[in-house]
Amino acid sequence: MKFNEKFRQFMIGRYGQDQLGRFITFLALVLLIVNLFVKKASLPTIALVLIIYSYYRVLSRDINARYKENQKFLDTIEPLRSKFFTSKARYNNRKTHKYIKCPSCKLKMKVPRGKGKIRVTCKSCGNKFIVKS
């Protein structure tokens, strides 16, 4: 048997890599790079523990437990990711659109720039208000 087939057979029924595992591995790599500049004896040890934990997760056969851990991680990180991507989109659209809030329900909306005073209807509460674009 070739090595690839043996490895594929070995990995059957194991959890494999997920977002949490990639994050842990990336964090360990960052700690090792930081250790190049700031010589602390504890940083490589922490990085090694993180790498071992990442491999434990990859090779684990308890798929349900690893899935729950990953879901908790994703639920925790999602507000940060959505805020980052929203602000990135707002920055990219800053020349063509203006972002406003509804005065009554505080829903965020975007309107085209350069149209003068326009009347906006909120999709959520139906409030109509005039805004300068």
Contact 59, 14 (CB under 8 A): yes
- pTM value > 0.75: no
Tokens of 55: 């491999």
d(Cα 131, Cα 82) in Å, to the nearest integer? Answer: 26
At 2-46, the pLDDT tens digits run: 888 887 887 777 788 899 999 999 999 999 999 999 988 899 999
d(Cα 39, Cα 52) in Å, to the nearest integer? Answer: 22
